[in-house]
Amino acid sequence: MKALFLIGESLTDFGGISKKIIAQVNALKNLGLHVALSYLKADQKNKFVARYIDEEKINEFSSNPILSQIQWRTRYKNVYDYIVENGIEIVFIRYIHFANPFFTSFLKKLNKKNIKVLLEIPTYPYDQEYQELKFTSKLVLHVEKLSRRRFKKYVARILTLTPYKTIFGVPTIEISNGIDPSSIKMVEKDKSNDNINLIGVASMAHWHGYDRLIEGFSDYYSKPTNNRKIFFYIVGDNDNSESLRYKELVKKYHLEEYIFFYGRKSGEELDNLFNMSDIGVGCLACHRKGIEFSKSLKNREYCSRGIPFFYSETDLEFEESNFIFKVPPDESPIDIQQLIQFISNNHFDSTQIRKYALENLSWGKQYEKVLKELFPDF
């Protein structure tokens, strides 16, 4: 079976989303599909300059940033031609809210060719994410809202991380964020002190809620009786508005000796930080974007590393696990004393935590479920 995996973003060496996409494509290949990947290429200013399918450039976009934005959202002819000429039978689309009349026309043409289209919606509902954005982004969402009403005519299934049975009138298949076990190393711990080290790996958005943890650190260290040392390693975007806000909070509360900003890390550098860490920090403020249920990739990566972790949303695959700690989904500071008790009162077996990930959370298992629903004889 031939497939195309279509995304509306670029790939980077360090990005968690890029790693996820590559892992998804590899999982489909391991299941026996012949998969091509269609992606965008960006310049040093993060402006999209071309669309590729594997190594072949199929579209080039204007050097004008406004025209470039319009072109990548509207030019689907070459993608359609590639699909038809190469006998593609199924198209997986990572859908990040780029529908417009050109996109729905593209879906309609695929439907006429009896090509199955699956939309993966990483976050749902998502309209609330646009409330604080500028007018042009809200205009894009308005066009998207009008266009997505037509999905039910042309889309076979929507892949979702939520329990919703239908989205936009389209039947769903509930999946989980998966992992690629071969690409993630289990922690190798060799601790010689009583300190507790937290690690948070994120792109630094307001729903990550690290400000709640910083406030919790401030409360904890303001009490002289709290003498056990706890540290927080922040790994990810180092200069966007949210990370700058975190840095200001750290400075405000004089926490520079306890909270460290490492910027983006990958490979051995990231492995070494995990080897120093006792617990992973998940999303602490999904409620800020109206999300109750989530299947965070971050949680699954921590699990595959073999370390416990904590978060505030409802993640059904971990709720009964003894290696997770739940914090309230509100604006309260994180209670550091409770967190310390959770870590101190439990013995965590990294091998068993990773085993859970390998047996339940691989992308291969997720896509096997999807393909069996669509093709019972698969």
Band the pLDDT of 207: cuts 50, 70, 90.
very high
Tokens of 378: 């698969």
Average pLDDT for residues 27-44, to the nearest whole number?
Answer: 95
Q: Which residue has the tokens 């009349």?
A: 101
Average pLDDT for residues 192-199, to the nearest whole number?
Answer: 90
Is the C-alpha dihedral spanning 211, 216, 222, 228 positive or negative? negative
For residue 132, pLDDT beyond 80: no
- pLDDT for 291 equals 86
Nearest-angstrom CA–CA distance, 361 and 354: 10
- pLDDT for 179 equals 83
Band the pLDDT of 117: cuts 50, 70, 90.
very high
What contacts 94, CB < 8 A, 6 or more positions away?
5, 6, 7, 8, 9, 21, 120, 122
- pLDDT for 91 equals 98
Cis peptide bond prior to 65, omega within 30° of 0? no
- For residue range 308-367, what is the model confidence (pLDDT) as tens digits? 999 999 998 899 999 999 999 999 999 999 999 999 999 999 999 999 998 888 899 899
- For residue range 185-194, what is the model confidence (pLDDT) as tens digits? 999 977 677 8
Nearest-angstrom CA–CA distance, 57 and 82: 12
Pairing of strands 116-121, 259-263: unpaired
Domains, in order of start, for the chain: 2-178+362-374 (3.40.50.2000), 182-360 (3.40.50.2000)
For residue 210, pLDDT beyond 70: yes
Query: Which neighbouring-strand residues pair with 326?
Result: 311
- For residue range 259-287, what is the model confidence (pLDDT) as tens digits? 999 999 988 999 999 999 999 999 999 99
For residue 130, pLDDT beyond 70: no
Average pLDDT for residues 25-47, to the nearest whole number?
Answer: 93
Q: What percent of the chain has pLDDT over 70?
A: 96
- pLDDT for 289 equals 87
Nearest-angstrom CA–CA distance, 228 and 268: 29
In eight-state DSSP terms, residue 128 is G
Q: What percent of the chain has pLDDT over 90?
A: 74
The Cα-based distances of 339 to 313, 347, 351 in angstroms read: 16, 14, 22
Give the burial string for 10-29 (b: 16+ CB within 10 Å, else e): bbeeebbbbbbbebbbbbbe
- For residue range 228-237, what is the model confidence (pLDDT) as tens digits? 999 999 999 9
